[in-house]
Amino acid sequence: MTLNETVDGVLRMNRLLLKIAITAMAGSLLVSNSSFSQILPPAKKAGYVEIALGPKLEFARDDLAIIRWTTNTPGGSDEHFGVVYYGTDPRNLSRMAKSHIRLNRAHAETIFRVRVSGLKPKTTYYYTVTSMESNGKSDGVKSRVNQFTTPGPGDRFVAYPPQPVAPPK
């Protein structure tokens, strides 16, 4: 076998590998059909959104808290925010914390969890919760004013998951 025959063989093999690579890449682009990655139009808004459970303090330490509540799924945009308005005076809930959530259209209920940070130890905070679409449009639900007290430095409060209840004897 001459040097020219060897070079021709290598070039043919490289062309074949290049064709296979291009074919595989083109095939993967065709398989990743755009219908799998489409952004769905907004879901039908719920006629009435109500808080089914909570709001409750899920977790707290001296400088942060997590507030949790459940509503019927509000519909509209899949991109939503849980919002907590809070402060140390129940008549002045001027601070706000919000957390992003993506609605699951297959679920009848949505659990919102919002992290409230920058708190002071051993301080009572008052709060109310609501939810909104990513465009700022309210879901039309708002809780009554609730309260919690942050624990002292180094302490924490955990209320979720709830502790199992012993069966009756």
Per-residue pLDDT of the chain (169 residues; tens, 9 = 90+): 665 555 455 556 667 666 776 776 666 655 555 555 556 666 666 667 889 899 999 999 999 999 999 998 887 888 999 999 999 999 999 999 999 999 887 888 999 999 999 999 999 999 999 999 989 999 889 999 999 999 999 898 888 665 555 555 5
Distance, in Å, from the CA atom of 96 to the CA atom of 6, rounded to the nearest integer, reads 73
Distance, in Å, from the CA atom of 66 to the CA atom of 126, rounded to the nearest integer, reads 13
Length in residues, the chain = 169
Residue type at 46 in one-letter notation: A
3-state secondary structure of 123: coil
pLDDT at position 32? 54
